[in-house]
Each structure stands twice: as structure tokens, then as C-alpha cells.
Amino acid sequence: MIDIKSEYYEQSSFWEPNNYTTAAVVERTSEAISSIPIDTKTILDIGCGNGVFINRLADEFPDRFEKVVGLDPCNEALKYVKTEKVNQNINGIPFEPHSFDLVSCLEVLEHLPQQDFKKGLSEIQRVSSKYILVSVPNDEVLEQLLVLCPKCCCAFNPYFHMRSFNKENLHSLFDDFKAIAVREIGPASLFYSYKRFMFFLRLCYGSSSPPALSICPQCGYQNKTVLSDDKSIQKKPALNFEKLLPFVKLFIKRQKKKRWILALYLRAK
């Protein structure tokens, strides 16, 4: 049986460094770096991907940290990581308890299925001695991201996002750590949310084709067009749907907000 999720993440073009140089991603990474407490000497970046965060630490602060390690299950992503790296999943971190001053987990938690999510939170707490740094999409409406497979008509989330976070539920994310700073980061963008029944109309009548590199989890259909320079948010379906059916504007809520939430935690137990 083909592991669609692994196949999706092992696409080499997905991790090309040029895809992570947009102003929004650079700003998000800068905000994460600026949030690292001054007494941090060792860092483990869980779900490090191609090293967009820890590579900057290595380049810009070569003498600040004693040890920086990236952990990711994707071999293609790890090819670009400049620091020490480990090929492993979040639910089996191969380090002793309290091994790192700070454990970062940036743009990862929203991708985890329930079993990995619970185990992952436990593992993050286990290996951190002082701090945890987390970033996630800001109050994402998961139904709005659904796309329709043109081959089998399966509706799916093309980025494998499985849960949504806001500032309130991030405060209670960990049992052994307390949140000491939770804030919205990134550029402010206009987001759309629909009444629930409108999601189905959008899928049927709107522009909901799968974006570049996405893979249908049911039949394996893949859109093999070139990856866009900003894959973090899908806004075209909402805009195209409005043009197609002007009356649906009555059922759409527009909200301007920043794209991500960044949270810093301190060990409490």
C-alpha cells in the first residue's frame, strides 16, 4: 500500500530552498529566532524540514549555540539541513529526557494525526529542559482549504492539515509547560470564512482544483505543475467563488488577521 503522505513529503521540488524565500516565510523565521531566550545554548528543531529555521541559526549565529539539531522523517528535506540532523518521526525522538534547553516545533503540529499528535506533545516535553517554541497557522478554517480531486471527486486538505489552533487553545497545549508569550506573527492578510453549507457549494461550483504537488489520499492523483512561491495559504477558491456567485457574499465573513501564531513555553513541572 502506498503511503500518500510520505510520497507527498518526499518530493524533492517541495523542499527547494527558493520556495522558502518569500517575505512572509522570512518574517516568520525571523520572529521565531527573536523569540529564543538569551540563556538557550542547545536547540532541537522537530520537523525541521529543509532547515529553513536552523540553517539561519547556523549562518547568522555560528558562536551563540553549543548544539543545534534538526529532526525530520523526510530524507529529501534533510539533504538541505546544514546542522547536525536526525532522520526520525516526532513520536520517537532518540534523545534522553531534558537533553535540550529549547525544543522548537514550527509549522508541524497541524499536520499530525491524533495518535502522533498526543505522543508528539509528550515527546517534546520529555526532551526539553527549559523552553518550547511552537508556531502554527492562525485560527485556520480547515474546511475552507478543501479541494476536489478531478479524478475521483474526493474532497481533501492538500497540505495534510488536520487540526486548527488559536491563541486560547495554545495556552493549554502542554501539561508540564506554561505559555509565557503567545502572539500573532506574519503579514496581515484578508481571510474568508463561509457558513458551513457554503463549503459544499464552493467545492461543487467554485475553483477548488488541487494546488501544485498535492496528492489525493484516495486515488493518488497528483497535480504536477510547478510549485508556487507561496504555498502556505489557498486564497483563490474564495475569490473565484465570489465572482462565480455574487450573492454568496452575504454568507462570507471577511477577516484581516496575521497568518501564524508563535508561542513560547517555560517548564512549570
pLDDT at 154: 87
Instruction: Look up cell 491563541; give the residue.
Output: 167
pLDDT tens digits for 20-60? Answer: 999 999 999 999 999 999 999 999 999 999 999 999 999 99
pLDDT at 198: 63
Which of helix, strand or coil describes residue 217?
coil
pLDDT at 230: 43
Q: How many other CB atoms are found less than 10 A from the CB of residue 269?
A: 8
What cell does 3 get? 503511503
Cβ neighbours of residue 200 closer than 8 Å, sequence gap 6 or more: none
Residues 267/176, Cβ–Cβ less than 8 Å: yes
Distances (CA, A) of 4 to 42, 49, 213: 34, 18, 12
Q: Cα–Cα distance between 100 and 120 in angstroms, integer? A: 16
Residues 43/104, Cβ–Cβ less than 8 Å: yes
Domains in the chain: boundaries: 4-267
pLDDT beneath 70, residues of the chain: 1-2, 192-208, 225-252
pLDDT at 195: 63
Distances (CA, A) of 141 to 13, 157, 163, 184, 218: 27, 11, 9, 16, 22
CA atoms within 13 A of residue 215's CA, in its CB half-sphere = 13
Superfamily name and number for 4-267: Vaccinia Virus protein VP39 (3.40.50.150)
Would the pTM of this model clear 0.75, i.e. be above it? yes
pLDDT at 193: 66
Name the nearest CA neighbour of 185 among 98, 72, 70, 264: 264
Name the nearest CA neighbour of 46 among 106, 97, 95: 106
Which of helix, strand or coil describes residue 209?
coil
Which of helix, strand or coil describes residue 265?
strand
What cell does 88 get? 526520525
pLDDT tens digits for 61-70? Answer: 999 999 999 9
